[in-house]
Amino acid sequence: MSETRGAPVIIDTDPGLDDALALFLAFRSPELDVRGVVTVAGNIGIDHTTRNARALLRVAGREDVPVVRGAARPFAREPFHAPGIHGEDGLGGIDVPEPRAPEHPAAALDWLADEIDSHPAGAVRILALGPLTNVARLIVERPEQARLIGGVVAMGGAVRDRGNVTPHAEFNIAADPEAAAVVLASGVPVTLVPLDVTRQVAADEAWAERLAARGGALAALTRQLHGAYLDNIAALRASLGVAEAERRPHAFPLHDPCVILHAVRPELFHPERLRLRVVRDRSERDGATVIDPAGDAADVLTGADAPAALAFVADRLAG
């Protein structure tokens, strides 16, 4: 009997605590054939995100998957990172094994173009967990291959909800709003996974403890990553003078895992077809994703069956 492979996807990521959980979920999902992991600077600088991706693939037992170093800086502005949330190493100081497999030697755009060309038109989707710099560069510099992408599912934006780096903007879009605008305007089918929906799929401490009790290396590491997120948010809030009783969050929103969840179980989510504009004026609303009748159309996830989503993630990561 011939082996049945999942749908071909490329994961573009900036690991990142929630990126780590998304990668684990992807490699526990036979519905997906992860062709490669392309890194981008975002939560932390490119050296750390690339090292972290290689280390996480070792943990997941998938060092056969190529890790390709991508963009070190945004499309058209200075970079900023989020060490207050993800830690100086991007993984909250959690002890993970040193990576063994080297990163792939190809330049990211060359590798992306070759991988897309090696499949039928529309077959490959890009699952984007960080700033959209690599995807935008592909669209601008390799338009022939960009037209062959089956779609981009991207974690990013705060459409009707509050932002997380400013009251208006979510981190991935704010880190490279010019890239996000390029992707939305490209004609490539885009599914946006904003804070509006990822905050609904929030794993509390009881969820993490139940998962760890089920056993397995990924479950144990997930519990540590979950705790690191809660601790880091509490420390960040303390530094901002938040009262002690309000510092520790109740749950860890599974931002990036929602991208993988949608790729595997789209029926868990409610999409809306909206026209969006990315604010790029360096004002206090810079990086916002706003509904605009003159904007670019995207499928925006705005609702989720959170209990089913959390149960599905736990089942995949346990054992």
Q: What average pLDDT does the segment 22-50 reach?
A: 97
CA-closest candidate to residue 43, choices 94, 90, 96: 90
CA distance linking residue 315 with residue 311, whole number of Å:
6
pTM of the predicted model as reported, rounded to 2 decimal places = 0.96
Higher pLDDT, 233 or 272: 272
How far CA 111 is from CA of 68, 118, 265, 280, in Å, comes to 8, 11, 28, 30
Average pLDDT, the chain: 95
Q: What average pLDDT does the segment 27-41 reach?
A: 98
Q: Which CATH number fits domain 7-317: 1.20.58.110, 3.30.230.20, 3.90.245.10, 3.40.50.720?
A: 3.90.245.10
Q: Where are the beta strands (DSSP E) in the chain?
A: 7-13, 32-39, 67-68, 125-128, 151-155, 190-193, 202-204, 251-253, 269-278, 289-291, 296-304
Place of tokens 């208006």: 168
Place of tokens 């009881």: 206
CA distance linking residue 53 with residue 16, whole number of Å:
9
Q: Are 176 and 77 in contact (CB under 8 A)?
A: yes
With a cut of 60, say whether residue 267 has pLDDT above it.
yes
pLDDT grade for 1, boundaries at 50, 70 and 90: very low
Q: Are 75 and 138 in contact (CB under 8 A)?
A: no
CA distance linking residue 264 with residue 261, whole number of Å:
5
DSSP, res 110:
H
pLDDT value at residue 2: 40
R_g (Cα) of the chain, nearest Å: 18
Helices 177-185 + 133-141 axis angle, to 10: 50
Active site residues: 255
Query: Which tokens sit at 116?
Result: 């897309």
With a cut of 90, say whether residue 247 has pLDDT above it.
no
**Number of residues in the chain:** 319
Q: Are 256 and 155 in contact (CB under 8 A)?
A: yes
**SS3 sequence, 34-77?**
EEEEEECCCCCCHHHHHHHHHHHHHHCCCCCCCEECCCCCCCCC
Q: Are 276 and 192 in contact (CB under 8 A)?
A: yes
Cis amide prior to 16 (ω within 30 degrees): yes
pLDDT value at residue 238: 87
Q: In this predicted model, what pLDDT tens digit does every residue of 177-189 receive, in sequence order? A: 999 999 999 999 9
With a cut of 90, say whether residue 54 has pLDDT above it.
yes
Q: In this predicted model, what pLDDT tens digit does every residue of 4-31 receive, in sequence order? A: 689 999 999 999 999 999 999 999 999 9
pLDDT value at residue 244: 81
